[in-house]
Chain A
Amino acid sequence: QVQLQQWGAGLLKPSETLSLTCAVNGDSFSGYYWTWIRQPPGKGLEWIGEINLSGNTNYNPSLKSRVTISLDTSRTQFSLKLSSVTAADTAVYYCARRRSGTTPFDYWGQGSLVTVSS
């Protein structure tokens, strides 16, 4: 059974860097895109970006200048860094899995609420 377990700092000040990690249990990295998605309180879902085993990344242009997604293959973990955060980055952040060449996100992490406040 595939499980995605995520963690990271939940409270940040404006201009700091958001950092989240997602551990993948029960599967390898091969054949998938490993993705970050966020959801501001009471709002819809926004795709942030993704990475595959080859290190190929795709980012949302709206966040590209501030986002880095990376893999740690030895630990089957992947991470999100979002720099220069503002209150607009307050959201629940999810990690998720998408099989390469397919549409859906079939497994999701539990979500991490990140609040940006001075």
Chain B
Amino acid sequence: EIVLTQSPVTLSLFPGERATLSCRASQSVSSYLAWYQQKPGQAPRLLSYDASNRATGIPARFSVSGSGTDFTLTISRLEPEDFAIYYCQQRSNWPLTFGGGTKVEIK
């Protein structure tokens, strides 16, 4: 099983600041990585897929990069609606797995 480790666990920032979230895989997942945003009481929302593609309707302030084992989600300037939990997910090997999540909270 591929383990995805997200860091930090919690990120405390002010609106307008830049957020940098990391996802590290226990073995290469090539580019087969997706990112999701989840708010309380809601299903996860797809942000990006295959390492660098933004999903439909996702603002340009969200960018992703990486391949192999190290991936980054960057939010260039945090808007109030961006405070949420973010998960990464791989499909390189079964079972499909998710990272433990990074909570982006208002400082």
Q: Which residues of A contact B (CB under 8 A)?
A: 44-47, 50, 58-62, 94, 96, 98, 102-106, 108-111
Q: Cβ of A110 and Cβ of B43 under 8 Å apart?
A: yes
CB-CB under 8 A from A102, the residues of chain B are 49-50, 91
Shortest Cβ gap from B82 to chain A (Å): 19
Are B50 and A47 in contact, CB atoms less than 8 angstroms apart? no
Contact B50 A44 (CB under 8 A): no
Q: Tell me the smallest distance from the CB of B73 to a CB of chain A, in Å.
A: 14
A113, chain B: closest CB distance, angstroms: 10
Residues of B near A105 (CB, < 8 A) are 34, 36, 44, 46, 89
- B interface with A by C-beta (< 8 Å): 1, 32-34, 36, 43-44, 46, 49-50, 55, 87, 89-91, 94-101
Q: B interface, by DSSP: helix, strand, loop or mixed?
A: loop
A103: chain B residues within 8 A (beta carbon): 32-34, 49-50, 89-91
Smallest beta-carbon distance B84→chain A, Å: 14
Q: List the B side residues contacting A62 at CB < 8 Å.
A: 95
Residues of A within 8 A of B43 (CB): 94, 96, 108-111
**In the complex, are the beta carbons of A45 and B98 less than 8 A apart?**
yes
Neighbouring B residues of A45 by C-beta, 8 Å: 44, 87, 89, 98, 101
B101: A residues at CB distance < 8 A: 44-45
Contact A47–B97 (Cβ < 8 Å): yes
| A104 with B87: CB separation less than 8 A | no
A25 CA to B98 CA, complexed, in Å? 26
Least Cβ–Cβ distance between A98 and chain B, in angstroms: 8
User: Is the Cβ of A44 less than 8 Å from the Cβ of B34?
Assistant: no
Do A60 and B95 touch (CB < 8 A)? yes
Indicate whether A108 sits within 8 Å of B49 (C-beta atoms), given known contacts A103-B32, A103-B33, A103-B90.
no
Show 19 residue pairs from A and B whose CB-CB distance is below 8 angstroms, ordered by the A residue: A44-B100, A45-B101, A47-B95, A47-B97, A50-B96, A58-B94, A60-B95, A62-B95, A94-B43, A98-B91, A102-B50, A103-B34, A103-B90, A103-B91, A104-B34, A104-B55, A104-B89, A108-B44, A109-B43
